[in-house]
Structure 1
Amino acid sequence: MQKLEVCCYGVDCARVAEQAGADRIELCASPAEGGLTPSAGTLMAAREHVSIPVHPIVRPRSGDFCYSVTEFEQIKSDIAFVRELGFPGVVVGLLDLDGHIDLPRMLQLMPLCAGMEVTFHRAFDLCHSPLMALEQLTDLGVARILTSGQQQSAESGLPLLRELTRITRGPKIMAGAGVRLSNIQKFIDAGITELHSSASQRISSPMRYRKAGVSMCSEAENDEFSRSVVDGDVVEAMKSVITLGSPIRVA
């Protein structure tokens, strides 16, 4: 049976996803930056209000996944805090200067993650050699790899996703980036057992007073009075497709 992980940028969204039938939550902050480490308050609220497994991302900044000494220390501290709060999993990923898995640092992180499932996130999609990276992550003992098949969207990356799913000896291959209700059957038919989606919709702010001409973002055209949230109906529909779908096993 395929599992659906929903990417949530807040506890309210995580609760909606849970109520709609999601199997797991990836908890993040900063959607415009592709997902950063949630705040301490968000993490504590998630532990209190969400019952299904929540795996927070630990990512100190946007951009590449090659981190400074200070950033690496921050990653280690954040992982320790996530573990202390009792989360069942964590999402993290590091690359070196040449685009390979940063093995020395990942070897330092894995003991800090003891007792938690480790998902190596889409840093995988920027690595130099995905097949070599799969071997290294297998040896490290990561639980899953979140990947778009090294393409802009997981649908475009289906050939590599199929190959990784066929050859993996350890980590589950979880398809993410552009996985939505309209194409989820393609991933089911490819035999991919874990799917990652934001399942989002854009909603308008409830504020009546709206100050014009001021943006909190460097992009002046950014709309401060709308935001993306999890669409429970979409999550429920995706789960229905997963439940009813008949995956074609990859030989």
Structure 2
Amino acid sequence: MKHIEIACFNLESALLAQKAGADRVELCANISDDGTTPSTEIIQQARKNLTIDLYIMIRPRGGNFVYSKAELEHMKLEIETIKKLGINGFVFGILNKDKTINIEQNKALVELAKPFPCTFHRAFDAVAKYEQALEDVITCGFSTLLTSGTFSNVMEGKEVLKKLVKQAKNRIEIMPGGGLRSTNISELNQTVNANWYHSSAITDGTEIANSNEIIELKNKLQS
């Protein structure tokens, strides 16, 4: 069975995603920063209105994925607070300055998030050596890796995505995301053969997901 996760930057998109048949929502704020932690209020509203799984982005700011001690402590506090809001998982990712996976810090957040599963997000696409980086992400205890295959979009990275799926050997879900649309999901799925796929389903330059696009994503993935 193939699944679709929709990245949503507001409550309206989350509700549209559920109605259109999405399997999971990744809730974020600040689309201009490529996603940061949403407010407690928005999380509560989303949980109240969604029956599908709800994953929450934990990211204190835009920019790089190397965090100060103070930022790391802030991320920990956010996880502890959001754990109590009925969510189903978390999304985050921390790198070292040399663009390797920060195993110590990621492990600490994964442990703190338990019993909820965690997705390592597209910080992965900045790593220098993706084979080693995948092993490090697995070591940290993540259940899913969201990546475009270290390229700017999934179609450019499809051969790396295929390699990552093979290397993972079901130890972690590889979830392609980044420029994924209904126009390319069939071709990508044929090459990569992942179980989960990720898209914002935004097609008009706004911050709102397109219901028809989500429906098309689902239909083409299941056909």
TM range, smaller chain: over 0.9
Q: Stretches of 4+ moved more than 4 A in 1?
A: none
Matching residue of 1:236: 215
Q: Which amino acid aligns with 1:179?
A: L
- Looking at structure 2, the residues matched to 79 and 131 of structure 1 have their Cα atoms a distance apart, in angstroms, of 28
Is the 2:107–2:141 contact (alpha carbons within 8 Å) kept by the matching residues of 1? no
Matching residue of 1:202: 204
Q: Which amino acid aligns with 2:189?
A: I
Matching residue of 1:180: 181
TM-score (norm 1): 0.85
1:66 has 2:66 as partner: yes
Matching residue of 2:27: 27
Matching residue of 2:172: 171
Is the 1:201–1:228 contact (alpha carbons within 8 Å) kept by the matching residues of 2? no
- Looking at structure 2, the residues matched to 228 and 196 of structure 1 have their Cα atoms a distance apart, in angstroms, of 16
Task: Name which of structure 1's ranges 52-61 and 123-132 shifts more when overlaid on structure 2.
Answer: 123-132
Identity %: 33
What is the aligned-residue RMSD (CA, Å)? 1.1
The answer for unaligned runs of 5 or more in structure 1 is 204-226, 245-251
The answer for unaligned runs of 5 or more in structure 2 is none
1:187-237 residue CA offsets vs partner (Å, 9 max, x unmatched): 21021221101111438xxxxxxxxxxxxxxxxxxxxxxx32111111011
Q: Which amino acid aligns with 1:197?
A: S
The secondary structure found in structure 1 opposite 2:82 is helix
The secondary structure found in structure 1 opposite 2:146 is strand
Displacement after TM superposition at 1:84 (Å): 1.5
1:66-95 residue CA offsets vs partner (Å, 9 max, x unmatched): 001111111111111221212111000000
Displacement after TM superposition at 1:36 (Å): 0.6
Is the 1:119–1:144 contact (alpha carbons within 8 Å) kept by the matching residues of 2? yes
Matching residue of 1:99: 99
- Looking at structure 2, the residues matched to 17 and 54 of structure 1 have their Cα atoms a distance apart, in angstroms, of 11
TM-score (norm 2): 0.96
Task: Name which of structure 1's ranges 25-34 and 76-85 shifts more when overlaid on structure 2.
Answer: 76-85
Is the 1:82–1:90 contact (alpha carbons within 8 Å) kept by the matching residues of 2? no
The secondary structure found in structure 2 opposite 1:192 is coil
Task: Name which of structure 1's ranges 57-66 and 103-112 shifts more when overlaid on structure 2.
Answer: 103-112
- Looking at structure 2, the residues matched to 13 and 88 of structure 1 have their Cα atoms a distance apart, in angstroms, of 18
Q: Which amino acid aligns with 2:200?
A: S
1:172-199 residue CA offsets vs partner (Å, 9 max, x unmatched): 1110110001101012102122110111
